[in-house]
Chains A and B, each alone.
Chain A
């Protein structure tokens, strides 16, 4: 008989993500059961678009009860468990294929990918999600519910498909953790599973002091080499590190690497600890071990990249700290090649080499050495250059990206180009480009519209700038920008100051003018165009200064403080660089 697969889900106020989840699953399952435990938003309505089997369940702080109920409503022979903030991905082989390929298997662990705290990458670990619908297979545990399988059941880890948990804003995830914690606190506090769960929840709430004893207790009572133990070790190390208990953290790394010599993540964590203590030779040793490990088998709790780009990046960083720049460069390059979407090594490589030579040379070298493979990398680099004041180079970076790959020509790229052109002293070019965007897309976003006004300001065409500024509409920030610009243009053209409209805060307007002045004062011109471009910025800065001086005592004070801050920064830099008191 053909096996059939049914989705069983528990939902609660998941209107933001539910649709995406169900879209990702719908081709893989024959039936969907969605159990709502009390949503107050559109969740049920969305669910009904995909299935009739939408049930309400009265919530009693018991996830297992809800899950078991959801399984019972299915008629399929197999069960797939998903959550609303997850998506099923890499489904080319399909779930059905899995079943036909492994007819003796009773339960499959799929790799779950979720955000790794701090590392800008993902943690992955196997989670039991696909199993036979069998009365003996029940969930247990109010929270962190686990499927209890009989000893005879055969379980298999598979690499595809994967389940991807998308990251949610901190406020939402905070709420979830607090809710879980709430439930846990009312449970049997001696169970090792409860300690495990509490440790993890407290960790995610960044309450490391409180999390620590729970994690330790949980670890002490686990014997087996299962995924639970690995999760505990990793979180315990992270927790100890966060608390500054480096020696203990290293102790665990050393002890556990003896037990799992090929577990690259442990070597990685050890490296991170030593790096944090600035003990770079030791850190390097540990990161090298991590790189030499093969990618761990699916059963491990693995942070993606510890075997490659993450460790390579850290190796680069450690060598950079030791001032071993050629080696650092090598490692950064390897990290970039291993994962072009991880930007940290690109950023550090760029800044390091710029300190040794100059940004222009470095930019060319990066393109020539094929380090920049994707448009996203180019966009990232462009913004980096822009932030440190090299507007012309930011421009050049994007132009090079376009040269390499016509497909890179997107709205975003054009928008950035316009901005860079503006600030590298080519406001006419920027205006032209924005004009083209308007034609192609019929409208431009508020940011680009602001750039348009800025271009006119730079060109000294105050009446046109005023006109376009009045037309800016959107969120408050935009209104403040418009007011700021209008105040300046009025001063320039009529030599008087217009008052600030009632509903706009003067402090915000002052902020905007200050940020315009800041941009002008950060401009680093190309030597060829210095005499043409510099006056544009000086004039605009001068106008900004005149405006703030005359607007009000508060704005004048803000301007003076702004200059004092700049002076202080320079002085601190000088004292640091030359070791002066």
Chain B
């Protein structure tokens, strides 16, 4: 019976080492854990699970530590894991099989890296060399990114090395705390620099160094290292795809789009099916404003076949990420039908990719066309899973489509995994839809010990404010003032209370100080929220009173946002006021001209609209977007239409030039 040894080096991995050892316990004959100086209970946990724990004085050299563990191993085969890795249970059979093959000397196995980004998380697959025969000649080399494969091939040139993707491990390590990660990164960089000094011609080492710099966002430094590492390299070397990707992305991050595109072209010659290259090519094309080229690249990315594991392709470049980008391009060009389709494709390919879902829902205009939105979502997504329903409900709520959001949240609430905060949203939706009692009931259910008690209290305060119930407002005001809310929010609450009293021409007890108002970021968010809730209920007078109270000056920093809210709800004159105010402080903002133009366009004043669109284009070269051009074309079209209609009235018997048959 072939004996298998697990060898590990660890330091302060108490939260993960347990799961790691548990995953291989019944598979290996011994677990060798070499601790290089833990101050937590890593060694104790390992011992409890049956590992043989040894101590090693850390000397900035990964290879030495690993080789020490090899020396202690007695098995015929060695499996290497890190403490933040777990053997995928389904791999066990393949592993047992693998080590009984007399021909093979070692295996590359699959690793699934779990990466977290702000709005989604990702799994990136790769190949790593972790399983090999235990011979005393086989030893690790290099203080960092330590390699044993070279040693095996040197000692045994005829060694048979295979790839076995059926043996897989999960790597959860990238989810660690930012500070820890930064420390690790700095340590790695330090070690790599040292190793490079000793082995300046080692391409793999230099590649790792460059990649490490890339992850540390030091792009300008990463580029020369990656370039040097790639010089004279055989294009089939296994890390070439990763090197290329890091190199090209570095240029992209520095906005060096032309260079990035050149490298993409070069990379595609050697790796035509590498989806990431095409994807980055698309991003670089967008950087130089070449929409046609961008589309080509993203479509190419989508048409690449499944990516080989050693490409370590970013998950989604050949599916949802590219669909998403195609959607963004279509939306920019105002091809809304196309955009909707692409976003839908992205969501279908990855239901957890919320950005695509958000944009899709926004385009469907859920607030003003809820029925159509619902029908479209059902047709496009064909996904009734509770998680998706909840996601959609949340997004609808965030986009203030309270009616439709309520439908989805009610459906989601029937499943077990309905989070408490979703209940708060549901209550708000109920209120906005006129079901005040049900809303109140839900909000009251959040008792004082509940973590969301304050949120619920705030919503009740707001509900009563919108209903102009001064007494209840006062009650909840007290609750909120006694809470741990930040002081600027408390000031805002005081102001709202006082304003309501004024609005109802009722006096307040003299003990109340006049509140002062400062527009902090949290206040801005709160204000926008309040405005939306109020306008949704058409409480325009109350809001106008509030604006007067707070004064335009104070609101300058969010005048654009507030203007947009007014515009959304059809109060164009008020929106224009806010935009004009914003524009006084930001005279070169083409976005502002664009928004002003829209207010005119909505009111049928196409001459004014076209002028403002034209000014949007004229004022800031960098802010040119196809949308501005399209908008200008559209308003000229409307103007033309108005003229043609008028002229037809004056001269009914004379034919006038027909509108050219392009899309409006």
- Within 8 Å CB of B618, what residues of A? 389, 524
Would you give the 0/1 interface string for A53-71, flagging 1 where the beta carbon is closer than 8 Å to chain B? 0000000000000000000
A566 within 8 Å of B by Cβ?
yes
A254 within 8 Å of B by Cβ?
no
- Within 8 Å CB of B292, what residues of A? 578-581
Min Cβ gap B603→A in Å is 14
State the interface size on chain A (CB cutoff 8 A).
Answer: 37
In A390-411, the 8 Å CB interface with B consists of: none
15 further A-B pairs in the complex, CB-CB below 8 A; given A570-B632, A571-B629: A525-B615, A541-B607, A552-B651, A556-B650, A559-B643, A560-B643, A560-B644, A560-B647, A560-B656, A563-B639, A567-B640, A570-B629, A573-B629, A580-B333, A581-B292
Min Cβ gap A392→B in Å is 13
Bound complex: CA of A542 vs CA of B610, how far in Å? 12
- Within 8 Å CB of B646, what residues of A? 549-550
Bound complex: CA of A567 vs CA of B588, how far in Å? 24
A349 within 8 Å of B by Cβ?
no
Given contacts A527-B588, A574-B629, whether A563 and B636 have CB atoms under 8 Å apart is yes
A selection of 7 A-B contacts at a CB cut-off of 8 Å is A355-B621, A538-B607, A545-B643, A550-B650, A553-B647, A574-B633, A580-B626
A532 within 8 Å of B by Cβ?
no
Bound complex: CA of A20 vs CA of B270, how far in Å? 75
- Within 8 Å CB of A498, what residues of B? none
A578 x B626 contact (CB < 8 A): yes
B28 within 8 Å of A by Cβ?
no
By beta carbon, the residue of chain B nearest A528 is B587
B291 within 8 Å of A by Cβ?
yes
State the interface size on chain B (CB cutoff 8 A).
Answer: 39
A534 within 8 Å of B by Cβ?
yes
By beta carbon, the residue of chain A nearest B625 is A578
A531 x B643 contact (CB < 8 A): no
B656 x A556 contact (CB < 8 A): yes
User: Which residue of A355, A537, A567 contacts B637 across the interface (Cβ within 8 Å)?
Assistant: A567
In B544-591, the 8 Å CB interface with A consists of: 580, 583, 587-588
Bound complex: CA of A534 vs CA of B593, how far in Å? 13
Bound complex: CA of A570 vs CA of B643, how far in Å? 19
- Within 8 Å CB of A577, what residues of B? 289, 624, 629
Most buried by A among B583, B629, B630: B629
A521 within 8 Å of B by Cβ?
yes
User: Which residue of B333, B630, B657 contacts A564 across the interface (Cβ within 8 Å)?
Assistant: B657
User: Which residue of A355, A560, A574, A578 contacts B640 across the interface (Cβ within 8 Å)?
Assistant: A560
B290 within 8 Å of A by Cβ?
yes
A173 within 8 Å of B by Cβ?
no
Bound complex: CA of A248 vs CA of B608, how far in Å? 57
- Within 8 Å CB of A571, what residues of B? 629, 633, 662
B647 x A566 contact (CB < 8 A): no
- Within 8 Å CB of B637, what residues of A? 567
- Within 8 Å CB of A570, what residues of B? 629, 632-633, 636
B654 within 8 Å of A by Cβ?
yes
B611 within 8 Å of A by Cβ?
yes
A557 within 8 Å of B by Cβ?
yes
B293 within 8 Å of A by Cβ?
yes
A538 x B608 contact (CB < 8 A): yes
Bound complex: CA of A550 vs CA of B643, how far in Å? 9
Min Cβ gap B94→A in Å is 49
- Within 8 Å CB of A557, what residues of B? 656-657
In B339-361, the 8 Å CB interface with A consists of: none
- Within 8 Å CB of A574, what residues of B? 626, 629-630, 633
Bound complex: CA of A563 vs CA of B640, how far in Å? 7
Bound complex: CA of A527 vs CA of B620, how far in Å? 13
Bound complex: CA of A389 vs CA of B607, how far in Å? 18
- Within 8 Å CB of B643, what residues of A? 545, 549, 556, 559-560, 563
A102 within 8 Å of B by Cβ?
no
- Within 8 Å CB of A561, what residues of B? 657
B660 within 8 Å of A by Cβ?
yes
Question: Which 5 interchain pairs have the tightest Cβ spacing?
Answer: A527-B587, A553-B654, A574-B629, A556-B647, A579-B292
B245 within 8 Å of A by Cβ?
no
B656 x A567 contact (CB < 8 A): no
Bound complex: CA of A578 vs CA of B633, how far in Å? 15
Most buried by A among B583, B643, B654, B660: B643
Bound complex: CA of A580 vs CA of B293, how far in Å? 9
A580 x B291 contact (CB < 8 A): yes
Min Cβ gap A571→B in Å is 6
**Chain A residues close to B by CB (< 8 Å):** 355, 358, 389, 521, 524-525, 527-528, 531, 534, 537-538, 541-542, 545, 549-550, 552-553, 556-557, 559-561, 563-564, 566-567, 570-571, 573-574, 577-581
B614 within 8 Å of A by Cβ?
yes
- Within 8 Å CB of A538, what residues of B? 607-608, 611
Min Cβ gap A327→B in Å is 18
Min Cβ gap B601→A in Å is 14
- Within 8 Å CB of B290, what residues of A? 578-579
Min Cβ gap A230→B in Å is 44
- Within 8 Å CB of B608, what residues of A? 538
- Within 8 Å CB of A521, what residues of B? 610-611, 614
Min Cβ gap B258→A in Å is 10
A579 x B640 contact (CB < 8 A): no
Min Cβ gap A407→B in Å is 35
Given contacts A534-B611, A563-B643, whether A578 and B291 have CB atoms under 8 Å apart is yes
Bound complex: CA of A527 vs CA of B629, how far in Å? 21
B660 x A578 contact (CB < 8 A): no
Most buried by B among A389, A559, A567: A567
Min Cβ gap B295→A in Å is 9
Min Cβ gap B210→A in Å is 29
By beta carbon, the residue of chain A nearest B626 is A578
User: Which residue of B587, B630, B650, B654 contacts A549 across the interface (Cβ within 8 Å)?
Assistant: B650
Min Cβ gap B629→A in Å is 4
By beta carbon, the residue of chain A nearest B624 is A577
Min Cβ gap A146→B in Å is 58
- Within 8 Å CB of A525, what residues of B? 615
- Within 8 Å CB of A556, what residues of B? 643-644, 647, 650-651, 656
By beta carbon, the residue of chain A nearest B658 is A560
B291 x A553 contact (CB < 8 A): no
Bound complex: CA of A310 vs CA of B621, how far in Å? 31
B636 x A531 contact (CB < 8 A): no
Bound complex: CA of A549 vs CA of B640, how far in Å? 11
Min Cβ gap A340→B in Å is 29
Given contacts A549-B643, A570-B633, A571-B633, whether A542 and B293 have CB atoms under 8 Å apart is no
Bound complex: CA of A577 vs CA of B630, how far in Å? 13
By beta carbon, the residue of chain B nearest A553 is B654
By beta carbon, the residue of chain A nearest B608 is A538
By beta carbon, the residue of chain A nearest B286 is A578
- Within 8 Å CB of A552, what residues of B? 651
B629 x A553 contact (CB < 8 A): no
A564 x B650 contact (CB < 8 A): no
By beta carbon, the residue of chain A nearest B593 is A530
Bound complex: CA of A215 vs CA of B626, how far in Å? 53
Given contacts A573-B629, A579-B291, whether A545 and B640 have CB atoms under 8 Å apart is no
- Within 8 Å CB of B632, what residues of A? 570
Bound complex: CA of A514 vs CA of B633, how far in Å? 19
By beta carbon, the residue of chain B nearest A581 is B292
- Within 8 Å CB of B657, what residues of A? 557, 560-561, 564
Bound complex: CA of A389 vs CA of B656, how far in Å? 31
Most buried by A among B291, B293, B588: B291
Given contacts A563-B639, A574-B629, whether A549 and B647 have CB atoms under 8 Å apart is yes
Most buried by A among B293, B608, B632, B647: B647
By beta carbon, the residue of chain B nearest A573 is B629
By beta carbon, the residue of chain B nearest A535 is B608
Min Cβ gap B651→A in Å is 4
Bound complex: CA of A239 vs CA of B651, how far in Å? 56
